[in-house]
Structure 1
Amino acid sequence: MGESIVGWALRVSGAELSSVLPRRWAHSKGVARRAVGLEQILGGDFGLLVASAALHDVGYAPRLAETGFHPLDGARFLRDVHGADERLVRLVANHSFALLEAEERGLRAVLEAEFPLLDDQRLVDALVYCDMTTTPDGQVNTVDSRLAEITGRYGSDSVVGRFIRRASPEILAAVGRVEAALAAQPR
């Protein structure tokens, strides 16, 4: 039997990030670990979530940075070089409300045309939850702390700062939906 999608994703992400961006690699591994905790609410899509969590920031790898917008660069790499699953590629391209940041960068039409949003809100929300509750070092964090950390790191007037300010209500809503789904699970 071949390599699992999760094993493949971790291998690809590690190959691209571990030596050149070790902190980004730590974050990606932490986001993937966070995804493991969502198996009970995702069922059959669990492996897809963990794989997309491991790969969501692969576009930060310097050798992949064509546009400088990591969701688009990462999705193109996964599609064009690896022929990755379409849903996985679309999750990576659109993770954590990337369309809003793409708009700030003048890339929204490009992102929407190449990688339309998934219709499965559970998966979209789950990836937002995993990313936005994991520190840059891969530790579990609150969404409020994560949003503050991102704003502090990039500055409130930067492209990323403006994006986070615009996306915060959507991010908080997505995290809230996942937390509600987890709370509704039998213990």
Structure 2
Amino acid sequence: MAEDATSSPLAPRAQALTLRILARDRVRVDHSASVAAHALALAPTVPAADRDTLVAAAWLHDIGYATELGETGFHPLDGARYLQAQGWPARVCDLVAHHSGARFVAAVIGLGEQLSQFGFVEDAVSDALTVADQTTGPHGEALSLDQRLREKHDRHGPDSADARAQPQRDPYLRAAADRVEQRLRLH
């Protein structure tokens, strides 16, 4: 039976779903919880009406890693498809699908067309989600963007899809971080 994802607020339900879906993957739960906490800290950089959506997407961004959700093996797409099937708002599904420059990796692995079924918007919410994810290590530790990029390269290796997408993805990640920093200065 589909989750009832139509009422507010989204963030507590996203947290509960993430904790249930990723219950066997404590490291991913720790990462997701820290990303959500960081997103909450960045919430002043997004319109007030979007803050719940930001934190919900932060909780949900990696649920596609759950074995039972894996259809394509690409966690942003698998997570977004699951959420869509469960009736989550399109905006949350879109953010999960496109988090952290996923479109660049999707293009490298031949899933760009499938990912494009979800809308991509470059805005304050997507920027904050990207920064929250890209400054949180795999165990939930705080990292700089440079540290996180090095960590991912070391963990996945130079021949990984992440590494092959790096020339296109890294400028996007850095630009998002710059925009968030500018918004933080304004608050």
Question: 2:120 is matched with which residue: 114, 117, 127?
Answer: 117
Q: Percent sequence identity over matched residues?
A: 39
Task: Return 5+ residue gaps in structure 2 as ranges.
Answer: 1-6
The alpha carbon displacement at 1:3 in A equals 6.2
Instruction: Give yes or no for the alignment of 1:131 onto 2:133.
Output: yes
Does the Cα contact within 8 Å between 1:56 and 1:71 map onto a contact in 2? yes
Task: Return 5+ residue gaps in structure 1 as ranges.
Answer: none
| TM-score, normalising length: structure 2 | 0.92
Q: Distance in 2 between matches of 1:176 and 1:30?
A: 21
Instruction: Give yes or no for the alignment of 1:162 onto 2:161.
Output: no
Q: Distance in 1 between matches of 2:61 and 2:89?
A: 14
Does the Cα contact within 8 Å between 1:147 and 1:164 map onto a contact in 2? no
Q: Distance in 2 between matches of 1:40 and 1:67?
A: 35
Q: Secondary structure at the match of 1:13?
A: helix
Q: Distance in 1 between matches of 2:37 and 2:109?
A: 30
Q: Distance in 1 between matches of 2:101 and 2:8?
A: 30
Q: Which amino acid aligns with 1:35?
A: A
Please list the CA deviations of residues 92-131 of structure 1 after superposition, one character each: whole Å capped at 9, or x if unmatched.
000011111100110101111x20213x511111111100
**Which residue matches 2:4?**
none
Question: Number of paired residues?
Answer: 180
Does the Cα contact within 8 Å between 1:38 and 1:46 map onto a contact in 2? no
Q: Distance in 1 between matches of 2:138 and 2:34?
A: 9
| TM-score, normalising length: structure 1 | 0.92
* RMSD after superposition: 1.2
The alpha carbon displacement at 1:164 in A equals 3.1
Q: Distance in 2 between matches of 1:123 and 1:104?
A: 25
Q: Distance in 1 between matches of 2:11 and 2:56?
A: 5
